[in-house]
């Protein structure tokens, strides 16, 4: 089942406050079985977009399709979507079993069928032992699994996940990331996945939509976004560490801005190389060092193997190949 979002706009109006335009003309689609990640900084409208698809917000204009039918004016319960909330939104007074079965029972499905489905979903998520416990007695990771089980038990047309991993610690987050991806591949359920974490976006998404100020800045496969960022915003947002974006003149690339990935900046001995600068900061990551080099008024980041790192406050040369330089216009858009 596919999801289509067409020209969706949403403005929040609160009395005695300036109206906030959260979404302006969003176009987006997720094909059947695809996992589309919506990523952007806070305030970019990604959660509003997801809530519009879920039916928790009504767009001012535009159209939303789920599974081939127009759901723009349908209430959330009639859209055949399941949502996983950031803080899981588990019912604290219900057992894990009743939490997972809540939606099925609310739709008046026979109790024995519900029991079977709940059991299967719990088995899939590895939480069968926890079925009789309450949410307060579970760890963060287990709660996350219950929230996912509650979503998959209904076999909906689409999953909507709103920053599902942000409440987990780093180790568990990496683990759940691959687990959610594997689950989604197995169930082949179309999924919209909202996150502010670009690593999550690149590693999980079949395609990634980058939102900025309520607009889609770029919508493409992760590899394409990394290889061909559509704007300086995307270039600065994606990658760890992100791309260096400096006035083009500094890299001898004409007008506008020029981008250069830190892995394409080579540290050379002082005096050698096309640029000269001074090391102002170092992030030692163990296997490599991110060297921050001040060149004129700009700071360029370079990834360097540990032995070659020049050391703090040292003056150093930097070198790069012209083929690695990305050209952007003065308005920030990528030059074709």
Partner 1 sequence: MRRSGILAAPFLAGLVLLVVAPAIAAIYLAFTQFTAIEPPRFTGLDNLGRLVDDAAFWRSLGNSAIYVVLAVPLRLVAAVGFALLLHRRSRGVGAARAIAFLPSVVPEAAYALLWLWLLNPVYGPIPLLLGGAAPDLLTDPWGARIGIALMGAFQIGEAFVIALAARRVIPGSLYEAAAVDGASPWWTLRKVTLPLMAPIIALLALRDVVLSLQVNFVPALVLTDGGPRYATTYLPLYVYRTAFRYFRFGYASMMTLTMFVATACIIFVMYRLARRWRLV
**Considering the rule CB under 8 A, would residue 103 count as an interface residue with partner 1?**
yes
Contact 151, 90 (CB under 8 A): no
* Cβ proximity to partner 1, 162 vs 217, nearer residue: 162
**Considering the rule CB under 8 A, would residue 154 count as an interface residue with partner 1?**
yes
**Considering the rule CB under 8 A, would residue 78 count as an interface residue with partner 1?**
yes
Strand order in the sheet with 315-319: 266-268, 315-319, 275-284, 288-295, 298-305
* Cβ proximity to partner 1, 56 vs 327, nearer residue: 56
Smallest distance from the beta carbon of 282 to partner 1, in angstroms? 42
**Considering the rule CB under 8 A, would residue 91 count as an interface residue with partner 1?**
yes
Give 179's strand partners.
none
- Find the binder of partner 1 among 7, 25, 69, 107 (CB under 8 A): 107
Strands 257-260 and 81-84: unpaired
* Cβ proximity to partner 1, 150 vs 212, nearer residue: 150
Site string for partner 1, 11-50 (x = CB under 8 A): ----------------------------------------
* Cβ proximity to partner 1, 100 vs 180, nearer residue: 100
In degrees rounded to 5, what are phi and psi of residue 118?
A: -60, -45
* Cβ proximity to partner 1, 150 vs 261, nearer residue: 150
Alpha helices in 158-252 (DSSP H): 170-187, 198-204, 222-227, 232-237
Helices 111-124 and 96-106 cross at an angle (nearest 10°) of 130
d(CA 293, CA 281): 7
Binding site for partner 1 (CB under 8 A): 54-56, 75-79, 81-83, 85, 87, 89-94, 102-103, 106-107, 150, 154
């Amino acid at each position: 089942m596919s999801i289509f979002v067409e020209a969706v706009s949403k403005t929040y109006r609160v009395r005695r406050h300036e109206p906030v335009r959260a979404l302006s003309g969003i176009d987006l689609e997720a094909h059947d079985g695809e996992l589309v990640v919506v990523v952007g900084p806070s305030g970019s409208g990604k959660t509003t977009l997801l809530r519009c698809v879920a039916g928790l917000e009504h767009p001012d204009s535009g159209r939303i399709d789920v599974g081939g039918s127009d759901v723009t004016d349908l209430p959330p319960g009639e859209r055949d979507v399941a949502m996983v909330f950031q803080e899981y939104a588990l019912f604290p007074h219900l057992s894990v079993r009743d939490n997972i079965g809540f939606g099925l029972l609310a739709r008046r499905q026979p109790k024995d069928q519900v029991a079977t489905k709940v059991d299967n979903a719990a088995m899939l998520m590895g939480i069968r032992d926890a079925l009789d416990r309450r949410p307060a007695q579970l760890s963060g990771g287990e709660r996350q699994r219950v929230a996912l089980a509650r979503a998959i038990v209904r076999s909906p047309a689409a999953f909507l996940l709103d920053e599902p991993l942000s409440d987990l610690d780093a180790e568990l987050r990496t683990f759940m990331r691959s687990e959610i991806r594997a689950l989604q591949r197995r169930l082949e359920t179309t999924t919209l996945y909202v996150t502010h974490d670009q690593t999550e976006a690149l590693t999980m998404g079949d395609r990634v939509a980058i939102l900025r100020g309520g607009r889609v800045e770029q919508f493409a496969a992760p590899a394409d976004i990394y290889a061909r960022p559509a704007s300086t915003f995307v270039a600065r947002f994606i990658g760890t560490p992100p791309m260096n974006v400096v006035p083009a003149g500094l890299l001898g690339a004409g007008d506008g801005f020029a981008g250069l990935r830190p892995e394409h900046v080579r540290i050379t001995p002082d005096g050698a190389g096309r640029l000269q600068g001074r090391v102002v900061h170092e992030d030692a990551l163990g296997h490599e060092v991110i060297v921050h080099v001040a060149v004129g008024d700009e700071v360029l980041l370079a990834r360097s193997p540990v032995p070659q790192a020049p050391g703090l406050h040292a003056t150093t040369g930097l070198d790069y190949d012209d083929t690695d330089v990305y050209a952007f216009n003065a308005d920030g858009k990528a030059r074709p």
